[in-house]
Amino acid sequence: MTLDLDTLLVVSPLIIVTCCVLYLTSSARRHGVAEVDRCWSLTFVSLLMASVAYLLSGLDSVGVFANAAGNAAFVFALGALWSGVRAFDGRSTRLWLAGVSALVAGLAALLPGQDAGLWAGSWAYFAGLIGWTLLASLAIWTGGLRRYPAMGALATVSLLYSVFTVVRAIVAYTAGFDSVLFVGALGSEIATIVGMLVAVVGSFAMITVRAPEAYSERESEIRFDPYLGLRTPAALALRAEAIISRTGEDGLSSSVLLIRVRDLDEISSAFGARFARLAFERCADEVVAAIPGDVLAGTLSQAEKTIAVVLPGADALRTAQVTRMVEDSLRGLTMSAQDVELPIVAEVVQVSGHHSWSELVTRARARFAAPSWQGPL
């Protein structure tokens, strides 16, 4: 069977459009746009631009320019994939690196001129594809995404695509781009099919990872408590565990603050469950207003009624600053109960170290019960 490149170049954008729409639709269901969504949306948009550019590369008038644009967009798409994986783990995206590599790939194909052919600057193109797919695979296997089977499949497919590209490059530079081996077994037709496979697996994996948050407004999957403005216990644990693990691998310690209302059960017995809930919500409001926007905060469990503030990678100065902000915001709280101003006494403990999320929480809870603990604010 002979593969028709023109047909594949028409089909490819259609498949990419489908994948792009599916992911963007899933992303649109979430409130706000996370950094990982920005990166992975750029991946699909760039893949679509590359597909359209390669379709236009057959036109004599714009062939060289379209091919250069396609190379740049394709390289950028894979770089954005890697950036999204880093964003998921709470690390800086370094998306600018994808931009630089795309610029190099585009200029390498464009500068030699129209007489150089469509394979001009292929060294930069091949290097970009190989480098980004290897980095993406490594980032998935060593980060928080490795627990998702679909992302494991994407990492495997990315690695295979990298190997495929290495073989293409070796054959191209040893036997030639016009050789029977390259054209027949590793040419643009096969590369287009393999690229579409990567796009389909990638879209499935990304949607599988991000889709649960698209339905976070359902009570069982909500990320933020609408009354407290804090992350729910499951959402906090998932995010804190991933970020603290990553910062620990970078050699940084983390800190956790636990805040609770003193004698909340007694308050509930004396003034009712509703008043106790309002007291806890008042405390949560003050914490949310006091902490910086880049700090994680949530509740440990529905029954425990304890607020946790997470400072991954924070040094002693940063931890002390945030602790002081929280303590100052909770000092002197009162609420009216049966025509009496009742003081709401908040208790705050703080622990730091090179520990996991669960270990930090366990140590902080232990400090509430420690004999040496000095008591509430």
Answer yes or no: do 60 and 186 share one domain. Answer: yes
How far apart are alpha carbons 78 and 74 in whole angstroms? Answer: 7
The reply to whether 122 falls in a domain is: yes
The answer as to whether 129 is a domain residue is yes
Average pLDDT score over residue span 77-100: 90
User: What are the tens digits of pLDDT across the range 120-170?
Assistant: 788 898 999 999 999 999 999 988 788 888 888 889 989 999 999 999 889
196 and 238 belong to one structural domain: no
Q: What CATH number is associated with residue 201?
A: 1.20.1070
What's the pLDDT at 96?
94
How many whole angstroms separate alpha carbon 377 and alpha carbon 374?
9
Where residue 376 falls among pLDDT bands split at 50, 70, 90? Answer: very low
Mean pLDDT of 159-186: 86
What is the predicted pLDDT for the residue at 162? 92
What per-residue confidence (pLDDT) applies to 102? Answer: 93
Split into its structural domains, the chain has a count of 2
Domain's final residue, options 156, 187, 214:
214
Task: Evaluate whether residue 13 is within a structural domain.
Answer: yes
Among 47-51, 53-57, 301-305, top mean pLDDT goes to 47-51
- In sequence order, what DSSP letters do the residues of 110-140 get, joined into one string? HTT-GGG-TTTTHHHHHHHHHHHHHHHHHHH
Residues 192 and 242 in one domain: no
Same domain, 197 and 238: no
Give residue 227's pLDDT. Answer: 67
Single pTM value for the model? 0.56
What domain range is 94 assigned to?
A: 5-214
pLDDT score for 130: 93
Q: Per-residue pLDDT averaged across 31-40, rounded? A: 72
More confident of the two residues 134 and 5: 134
Q: Say how far apart CA 87 and CA 258 lie, in whole Å.
A: 26
For the chain, helix (H) and strand (E) counts, in that order, are 13, 6
Residue 43, exposed/middle/buried by CB under 10 A (0-12, 13-18, 19+)?
buried
Point out the domain boundary residue: 214, 242, 265. 214
Lowest mean pLDDT among 103-112, 206-215, 323-332: 206-215
Residue 298, in any domain of the structure: yes
Q: Is residue 44 part of a domain?
A: yes
Least confident of 188-197, 221-230, 297-306, 328-337: 221-230
> What pLDDT, on the 0 to 100 scale, is given for residue 134?
95
